[in-house]
Amino acid sequence: MVIITAGMIGVGKTTLTGKIADHLHTKAFFEPVGENPVLPLYYKNPKQYGFLLQIYFLNKRFSMIKRALKDDNNVLDRSIYEDALFTKENNAEGNISDTELEVYLKLLDNMMADLQRLPKRAPDLMVYSETDFETILYRIKKRGRDYEQIDTNPELKDYYYKMWKAYKQWYREYDASPKMKIDLEKYDLENPANVTAVLGMIDDRLKDIR
């Protein structure tokens, strides 16, 4: 069973990933953020480091999804299926040129074709998390990564809002696997009762697709 989690920066999907993995007694693959040498550089100068950041993430996520599909018993915190969302937004913002976007998309197509040659070709379930925008901002501030803070970089607020809106469209269009949506505004995972409720909803969805 392979589950991927998806959602906006700061929504709480990393916490959810850990909860699902513990619940299912399986392995969690977490997004490579803390050890990412490019991410702080990108937040300081997105036009210089936008393409490099997306290639870095694409390489990591391709490796992770291949391992996950081969192991067939894990949960992934963000995956290759939403990677292009960030790249296209960087292109729209002028951080990535049209030529760089074309190179990226061709590379992504080759990687996705490679996945189709695996015995297991796609996840069993995608769990998408969402909250309102103000909660996103609160949680980004609370986790305290300096380079993510709008207090020191006010332009980030517009970027976060655009990504928040783009994710809603991405969820509607996602069709790589069965999917479900979790409202982490209503079900704040700091409350143990909410954790139980959310995991119950995921169990029910898994029963539907087995």
Per-residue pLDDT tens over the stretch 78-90: 899 999 999 999 9
The pair of three-digit structure tokens given for residue 95, joined into one six-digit string: 């951080």
pLDDT in tens, 1-35: 899 999 999 999 999 999 999 999 998 998 766 67
Strand locations in 55-111 (E): 74-77
pLDDT score at 72: 85
What pTM was estimated for this model as a whole? 0.92
Domains of the chain: 2-209 (3.40.50.300)
Q: Which residues contact 134 (CB under 8 A, 6 or more apart)?
A: none
pLDDT at 95: 95
Q: How far apart are CA 105 and CA 89, in angstroms?
A: 13
Burial of 39-51, coded b for 16+ CB within 10 Å and e otherwise, reads beebbeebeebbb
194 pLDDT more than 80? yes
pLDDT in tens, 63-117: 999 999 988 889 999 899 999 999 999 999 999 999 999 999 999 999 999 999 9
CA 55, 61, 67, 72 torsion: positive or negative? negative
Which amino acids are annotated catalytic?
A: 77
Name the band, by pLDDT with cuts 50, 70 and 90, for residue 209.
confident
